[in-house]
Structure 1
Amino acid sequence: MKEAKIYIIGSGAIGKALAVFLQQENKQVLLVRGSVDHIPDTEETITVIGKESTFQQRITTTTFKGLQAINGIVLITVKAFANREIAQKLKEKEGDFSVVLLQNGLHVERPFEGFDNVYRCVLFSTSQVTGDNEVTFKSVTSSPVGSVRGNNNGLQDLVDTINTQHFGFRSETDITPILWTKVIANCAFNSICPLLETDNGIFIRNSEAAKLARTVIEECVALAQEQGINLDKDAIEKNLLLISQRSDGQLISTYMDILQNRRTEIESLNLEISRMANDMGIPETVTHTRLLGELVQLKSTIKIK
């Protein structure tokens, strides 16, 4: 059987790193610019700098306008606020494809209602742009992929297709608890660090910052419990502190977005948690989480202006 073609929507750090690792293993891969339609197809050399090795591949980049049809696997690596536009563009294309969202946040899959096969991936890898067509990459462990609708038919075949030696994926029959655990940690990192204008190591260095992160974790875990999702708040806090220690000196993506006058992902993190609590009639459950998110959004708006 011919191996499925892989379309990566989003030519940022994660998209470029993934394209290089897939191409290196002779996968059929195409990098698609998510928001630009007027740029002609190009073939560029992309460099990925890992912990021990450097990788280079010639990658073909196109746009939605350059795609007559889409058949295979679509990996979406753009920021989640672009999903509505991406979903509309995909609906306009003929073909048969599965969609995998490699994004942070809750309910980022909503714009893809009506699509047959939609999966969420919880990334346990990080990548940053360090130059023109050059990115750094670090993988902590393989990233789990699971169906957002609980239908895991074909999941393992999909994971086998996108899995690579250096950027690993694994199938997960119940992605929801893992997704929530990652979101909760992001709600702390992506709000507290930008507001304090500091790096991820703040929770290891400062007990008051760690205390505030613990409050966010407790609020979000309580909300998850109301949804019937049982999580261990102590385990989440322990993991947050471990990440803080290992990424000491590294800036969280939301803070970098603010510094570079870009829209942040806070709407799919703290503010989505807040919207859920409001819809359930228990807004007081996530008071601190909501306020931190609103402050980040305000800070971002002021910076952009």
Structure 2
Amino acid sequence: MAKVAIVGCGAMGSVYAGLMAHAGHEVYGVTLWPDHAAAIQQKGLRVSGISGDKTMRLAAASTTTDGIGVCDLVIIATKAFDVQAAASAALSLIGPCTVIQTIQNGVGSPDTAAQVLPANQMAVGVVGGYGASVPEPGHAHHNGFEVTWFAKYAGLSDEQMEDSADVWRSSGFQVALHDDVRSMVWKKLIMNVAFSGTSCATGLTIGQILANENAWKVARACSEEAVAVCQAQGIDLGLADPIAHVQNLGGKIPNARPSMLLDSLAGRHGEIDAINGAISRLGAELGVPTPVNDVVVAIVKAKESLISKR
């Protein structure tokens, strides 16, 4: 049994927390949502979806890391824009043998965390095909868990890498370990850029985007631009057909609404800067045109300007 802290126990983090607790691990959930923490404390954490429907008690759920103490595994599962604050809050959870996993959409979050946390204890995580949401406080639902990948950030030992992966495997996740962290991250990112901004702009699910000629035209172009940016950096995706890879993963969770759309519907700002915005930013630096991502970013930011006025 491992002592695990999930810093960022939102939709995805709650799936991790619930299934790890169900497997017998000592799990602490830290979330920015007070009503979610209170519901978990009072009634337990319900996880429904492809993994079944079960309610588990966590060791604790709160809005701070106070009183948790040093853990075996710390998973930072916040939004990209909250990583720096989460890393600082996680310092009290880190001992000399603690493994830290950062799991965010887009690029750059591990570097942000490494400014605060010991880089030689860090692994980078990529997850996809979950389609996770929080239908109500204390309840997380997920449509799948197609991708659960990890790679070392810096000097993490092979033994620590395997031990941390075993926590996930024992909880029902199919884990793959990768040697090339950049290739691993970009395999996920080319899917994120296809569906995240497009879904937020249109309100469509992943399956609806794939089935709609106009929406897929936008999504595909966003992904193709991301592949071009990836190639300009000399990153080998190891995929014979990157767009087929995107279609295949997306097709496995047709009913899912990406987190960027869910955030918009809930009146929250999303991760457009870390996903489609990253393609625009890197494209400008590398001299790679990204006109479709540029427009999608502008549309989403226009929508978010209304959120800030509410």
TM-score, length-scaled by structure 2: 0.85
Which is worse superposed, 98-107 or 205-214? 205-214
**Residue 100 of structure 1 pairs with residue 101 of structure 2:** yes
Aligned counterpart, 2:56: 57
Aligned counterpart, 2:46: 47
SS in 1 for 2:149: strand
SS in 1 for 2:206: coil
Q: Post-superposition shift, 1:157?
A: 1.6
Tell me, in whole angstroms, the C-alpha distance in 1 between the residues paired with 2:65 and 2:239.
Answer: 46
Aligned counterpart, 1:293: 297
Aligned counterpart, 2:181: 175
RMSD: 2.7
Aligned counterpart, 1:207: 213
SS in 1 for 2:9: coil
Tell me, in whole angstroms, the C-alpha distance in 1 between the residues paired with 2:236 and 2:201.
Answer: 29
Q: Post-superposition shift, 1:131?
A: 2.5
Which is worse superposed, 138-147 or 244-253? 244-253
Q: Structure 1 residues 20 and 296 mapped into 2: Cα distance closer, same or farther (>3 Å)?
A: same
Matches within 5 A, 1:198-237: 198-231=204-237, 235-237=241-243
Matches within 5 A, 1:243-254: 243-254=249-260
TM-score, length-scaled by structure 1: 0.86
Number of aligned positions between the proteins: 299
Q: Structure 1 residues 138 and 166 mapped into 2: Cα distance closer, same or farther (>3 Å)?
A: farther
Tell me, in whole angstroms, the C-alpha distance in 1 between the residues paired with 2:91 and 2:51.
Answer: 41
SS in 1 for 2:273: helix
Q: Post-superposition shift, 1:165?
A: 4.2
Q: Tell me the amino acid that sits aligned with residue 113 of structure 1.
A: A
**Residue 159 of structure 1 pairs with residue 191 of structure 2:** no
Aligned counterpart, 1:18: 16
Tell me, in whole angstroms, the C-alpha distance in 2 between the residues paired with 1:213 and 1:267.
Answer: 17
Aligned counterpart, 1:5: 3
Q: Is the 1:201–1:250 contact (alpha carbons within 8 Å) kept by the matching residues of 2? A: yes
SS in 2 for 1:81: helix
Aligned counterpart, 1:149: 154
Q: What do the CA deviations read for 1:242-271 (whole angstroms, capped 9, x no partner)?
A: 344443343222112112110101111111
Tell me, in whole angstroms, the C-alpha distance in 2 between the residues paired with 1:271 and 1:55.
Answer: 37
Q: What do the CA deviations read for 1:192-248 (whole angstroms, capped 9, x no partner)?
A: 222123222233322233222222222111111111112367633223333444433
Q: Is the 1:150–1:174 contact (alpha carbons within 8 Å) kept by the matching residues of 2? A: no
Q: Is the 1:7–1:75 contact (alpha carbons within 8 Å) kept by the matching residues of 2? A: yes
Q: Post-superposition shift, 1:52?
A: 6.5
Which is worse superposed, 78-87 or 240-249? 240-249
Q: Post-superposition shift, 1:189?
A: 0.7
1:196 to 202, 219, 235: 202
Q: Tell me the amino acid that sits aligned with residue 20 of structure 2.
A: L
Q: Structure 1 residues 26 and 250 mapped into 2: Cα distance closer, same or farther (>3 Å)?
A: closer
Q: Structure 1 residues 277 and 149 mapped into 2: Cα distance closer, same or farther (>3 Å)?
A: farther
Q: Is the 1:4–1:161 contact (alpha carbons within 8 Å) kept by the matching residues of 2? A: yes
1:126 to 112, 123, 131: 131
Tell me, in whole angstroms, the C-alpha distance in 2 between the residues paired with 1:152 and 1:235.
Answer: 33
Q: Is the 2:65–2:89 contact (alpha carbons within 8 Å) kept by the matching residues of 1? A: no
**Residue 89 of structure 1 pairs with residue 89 of structure 2:** yes
Tell me, in whole angstroms, the C-alpha distance in 1 between the residues paired with 2:245 and 2:216.
Answer: 12
Tell me, in whole angstroms, the C-alpha distance in 2 between the residues paired with 1:122 and 1:208.
Answer: 29
Q: Structure 1 residues 285 and 14 mapped into 2: Cα distance closer, same or farther (>3 Å)?
A: same
Give ranges in structure 1 of 5+ residues lacking alignment. none
Q: Is the 1:8–1:29 contact (alpha carbons within 8 Å) kept by the matching residues of 2? A: yes
Aligned counterpart, 2:114: 113
Q: What do the CA deviations read for 1:26-64 (whole angstroms, capped 9, x no partner)?
A: 11211123587xx89946411111336321211121343
Q: Is the 1:100–1:118 contact (alpha carbons within 8 Å) kept by the matching residues of 2? A: yes
Q: Is the 1:43–1:61 contact (alpha carbons within 8 Å) kept by the matching residues of 2? A: no
Q: Tell me the amino acid that sits aligned with residue 15 of structure 1.
A: G
Q: Tell me the amino acid that sits aligned with residue 293 of structure 1.
A: V
Tell me, in whole angstroms, the C-alpha distance in 2 between the residues paired with 1:287 and 1:148.
Answer: 32
Tell me, in whole angstroms, the C-alpha distance in 1 between the residues paired with 2:7 and 2:165.
Answer: 17
